[in-house]
Amino acid sequence: MMPDPAIIAQLFVLINPFSSLTVLMAAHAQGLPVRRLAAGAVLTAFLTAAALAVVGPLLLRVFGISLDSFRIAGGIVLLLLGVETVRRREDRQVAVTSLDGLMSILATPTMTGPATITYVTLKTHEIGLGPLGVNLTVAFAAVALVMGVFALLVPRINRRVVNIVSRVLGLFLTAVAIEMMARGLTGILAPLRAP
């Protein structure tokens, strides 16, 4: 099973490690171990996403939700998150001050939030658990690399540049959302067009 660059790129955009910078900077300002925070958050987010890859498709069957309906619902959620990312203010404040609390915020919902959950569930159904697991592992390895660089350079990072990159990723997220909704609508409407 070879990794799929397109799936890895889409997962990276959904996880968006650049959105974690605010939390890392808050941890640094409080004298908390930033590298430990970043490593723990990435590991927790990865394990959460892996668990959802197993459980997600089962939940679709339990609740009788069609894949196309889930694509549309997930696309709407992704679209809202993408718009929020593009419009996000740069001066967001982080209220939580404990290491465990910040780690929880980073792991979920920042990295493994509704967008990642939706995508992982759909892709597991489409390509299978094994291939999804390979791509998920590679994507989180890339995220871990970025987070590691952030942890080392957090005092010197230009926050404005990172916010611009995060907004660009948010734009790609909205495109992924529209593609998901279009596929879902096509699947639902196709039987209606049949003679």
Q: What is the pLDDT of residues 103-119, one digit of tens each?
A: 888 888 888 888 888 89
User: Residue 11: pLDDT band by 50, 70, 90 thresholds?
Assistant: very high
| Residue 26 lies inside a defined structural domain of this protein | yes
The whole-number pLDDT of residue 96 equals: 58
| Residue 194 lies inside a defined structural domain of this protein | no
Residue 95, pLDDT above cutoff 90: no
| Residue 176 lies inside a defined structural domain of this protein | yes
User: Residue 4: pLDDT band by 50, 70, 90 thresholds?
Assistant: very high
| Residue 34 lies inside a defined structural domain of this protein | yes
Nearest alpha carbon to residue 53 among 138, 120, 131, 137: 120
User: Residue 37: pLDDT band by 50, 70, 90 thresholds?
Assistant: very high
Total domains present in the chain: 1
For 77: left if phi > 0, alpha if psi spans -120 to 50, otherwise beta; the answer is: alpha
Q: Which amino acid is at 17?
A: P
Residue 93, pLDDT above cutoff 60: no
- Give the range of the structural domain holding residue 167, as residue numbers without chain letter: 5-189
- Model's pTM, two decimal places? 0.82
| Residue 195 lies inside a defined structural domain of this protein | no
| Residue 48 lies inside a defined structural domain of this protein | yes
| Residue 134 lies inside a defined structural domain of this protein | yes
- In whole angstroms, give the CA distance from residue 105 to residue 41: 8
Give me the mean pLDDT over the 66-92 stretch. 80
